[in-house]
Amino acid sequence: GQISRKVVVATRNPDATDTGVAITAGKAPGRTGNRVFSVLSFGAGIFIMIVLALVTIFLFRDSFPAFVADQAQLDEDVSFMRGKSFLSYAAPLIFGTLLSSLIALAVAVPLSIAVALFISHFAPRRLAQGLGYLVDLLAAIPSVVYGLWGFLWLVPLMNPIYQWLTTHLGFIPLFADYQAPAKNIMTASLVLAVMILPIITATVREVFLQTPTLHEEASLALGATRYEMVRQAVLPFARSGIISASMLGLGRALGETMAVLMIMSSGLFINLKILAPGQHQTIAANIASQFREAFGLSREVLLATGLVLFVITFLVNSLARWIIARRAEFSGAN
């Protein structure tokens, strides 16, 4: 009719005023906002890189004297090294850091996967929401509170358990030479496990919830039980996410300071006596305990151990990204 003719005519023969309005409308809405957003996003990315570069430069610059100092200087200026070279001083700290973090990871990962599976696939909706809130709340508790909990409650609780292990399994080096109180690397690792549990659980839970529904329904339609469906559909899909979550937890455990410092009696030994007190120490806890009185070369030695911890954390995260990329490439993912 006439309406359609008018629309066609207006479309075929726009006047100059309409064209100008159309061009202005095309330019105005969003280009300024897009540019501002792009600049802010780019600036945020550059800011992160600058901060990382500044931290790296600071650690390398201030710790360099510790690497080039001779043994005479170390013996004279660094009392807490007890006549050791930097390598022989740092090696037990590296060992204690890795040992405590790996024990914590071995305890936390299975529990986190189980809790995440229950929340995402088995619990009723209201219960799942409540448990999800509790998990998020655990992640917000300060580390000093975990340290107090471990020192005042977990240490006395673990004493009879450790005593039984030493009495009956003391011939195994892991359980040898226990002495009360239970201020050893095992207790510290249990506290670390509780601390990294919410981080791993929250991440794995979100990965489980992203499992394609069609995969789950297809598995159930073929006669699989809920357990078989989880094993065949959910866990294979979430494998890379579980690795990522575990590495996040490991990064938290590697750098934890206050809880370890409050619970574990320190020692600079390389052994697997996880129940014996005074055997191990972590890099972060050692820096916290020594840094206040440190000056000169002593301070630079502690910064050098901090650089070692920085490198370890960087390597752990790089390894995690490499594993995830390899699995994605193997599975044909983009």
**pLDDT of res. 8:** 43
- Mean pLDDT confidence for 71-90: 82
Count of positions (residues) in the chain: 334
Whether the pLDDT of residue 253 is over 50: the answer is: yes
DSSP output for 229-244 = HIIIIIHHHTHHHHHH
pTM: 0.82
DSSP output for 30-53 = HHHHHHHHHHHHHHHHHHHHHHHH
CATH 3.30.1360.120 is held by the domain 71-331: no
- CA separation for the pair 58, 64 (Å, rounded): 10
- Mean pLDDT confidence for 74-94: 84
146-184: b (≥16 Cβ within 10 Å) or e: bbebbbeebbeebeeebeebbeeeeeeeebbebeeebbb
215 in helix, strand or coil? helix
Q: What is the pLDDT of residues 181-202, one digit of tens each?
A: 889 999 999 999 999 999 999 9
CA dihedral 4, 23, 41, 318 (to 10 degrees): 60
Flag the least confident range among 124-128, 253-257, 293-297.
Answer: 293-297
**pLDDT of res. 333:** 44
- CA separation for the pair 239, 199 (Å, rounded): 16
Tell me what percent of the residues of the chain surpass a pLDDT of 70. 89
How is the chain split into domains, by residue range? 16-62, 71-331
Task: Tell me the two tokens of residue 68.
Answer: 């080039």
- Mean pLDDT confidence for 143-153: 93
More confident residue, 208 or 22: 208
Instruction: Give the pLDDT band of residue 16 (cuts 50, 70, 90).
Output: very low
**Element spanning 4, H or E:** helix 2-12
Whether the pLDDT of residue 146 is over 90: the answer is: yes
More confident residue, 13 or 110: 110
